[in-house]
Amino acid sequence: MYDVIILGAGPAGLTAALYAARGKLKSLVITGPMVGGQIALTYQIDNYPGFPEGLTGPELSDRFKAHAEKFGAEFIEAEATSVDLASNPYKAWVGDRVFDTSSLIVATGMTHRGLGVQGEDRLMGRGVFVCATCDALLYEDRKVVVVGGGDSALQEALDLAKFASEVTIVHRREELRACRCLTDRALIEPRIKFLYSTVVEEILGEKRVQGVRLRDLKTGELKVVDTDGVLLAIGWNPNTGLLRGEIEMNDSGYPKTEGVKTSKPGVFVAGDLIDRNYRQVVTSCGSGCAAAIEAIRWLEAQPSH
């Protein structure tokens, strides 16, 4: 029986584990497929405070985990397959193993939507990327294709245009879907070009991205455009499948929350999962900390605790 089970071992889950364990909660982290979460895939982190020289994503992830372990957090390197939050103690399953817990913190992050075209998976991290705030500096004076036409695509393109020599927004519709304020800014930015009614059919390159094969949806014409990077900005899906029917969620699968609290007492969420705006390591750590503090306070208020 645990005081708290934390689902996910990205920055949010590992910070929650540190705070929970240091707060003397018997804590178990079910890590899911990626210890470290998205930072495990990130070569260099230059914007985490306290490390002016920067460090690799895996190194930061190892430090987060070691810090939580130092205070006694336990880890299972496996995916949680289901949860039962009908009554307390809550239950979390890993295959046929079941773990009981008084409280739960869900920090399972997001999965970016993919195009499903050739070259995308092979060149991920080698020119294919999903976060301008994180990687824009790598594209200084280089060309980038941004795929998408909503708010995040335009915001990412504007962020990239401060560094890249040319940003081409490729959008499958005839018009952008982004808000007027972003569209107006992008339209007058000389480094941003637009290709409407166009889709990416293939991402080209051997070791790194060198170009994209595009299809004009109106004429059917195919053409190859040289580029150094392809930023996928067609949206993210929350990793909340196992919470379906257990807590209140909106139609897009995001938990309905008040801060880090969900509709279920003693069940909290943290990290990118509840952050539509910033999605950074430091903000994920912040909400991981908040979720653990809320779990500690909630447990203290329970008569049985």
Ligand X SMILES: Cc1cc2nc3c(=O)[nH]c(=O)nc-3n(C[C@H](O)[C@H](O)[C@H](O)COP(=O)(O)OP(=O)(O)OC[C@H]3O[C@@H](n4cnc5c(N)ncnc54)[C@H](O)[C@@H]3O)c2cc1C
Active site (catalytic) residues: 131, 134-135
CA-nearest of 255, 304, 250 to 107 is 255
Contact between 127 and ligand X per CB under 6 A: no
Say how far apart CA 19 and CA 195 lie, in whole Å: 48
The site map against ligand X for 224-243 (x = CB under 6 A) is: ---------------x--x-
The number of CA neighbours under 13 Å toward the Cβ of 272 is 22
Q: What's the Cα-to-Cα distance from 57 to each of 61, 132, 241, rounded to whole Å?
A: 6, 16, 26
Contact between 262 and ligand X per CB under 6 A: no
State the minimum distance, in angstroms, from the CB of residue 79 to ligand X: 4
Give the amino acid at 61: S
How many other CB atoms are found less than 10 A from the CB of residue 114? 13
How many other CB atoms are found less than 10 A from the CB of residue 248? 11
Considering beta carbons, is residue 13 or 148 the nearer one to ligand X? 13
Contact between 34 and ligand X per CB under 6 A: yes
State the minimum distance, in angstroms, from the CB of residue 89 to ligand X: 18
**Pair of tokens at residue 29:** 């982290």
The site map against ligand X for 152-181 (x = CB under 6 A) is: ------------------------------
User: Residue 158 phi/psi, 5° resolution?
Assistant: -65, -40
- In the set 11, 149, 205, 286, which binds ligand X (CB under 6 A)? 11
- In the set 132, 280, 286, 299, which binds ligand X (CB under 6 A)? 280
- Chain residues binding ligand X by CB under 6 A are 7-13, 30-34, 37-39, 41-42, 45, 47, 79-80, 107-109, 129-131, 134, 239, 242, 271-273, 279-282, 284
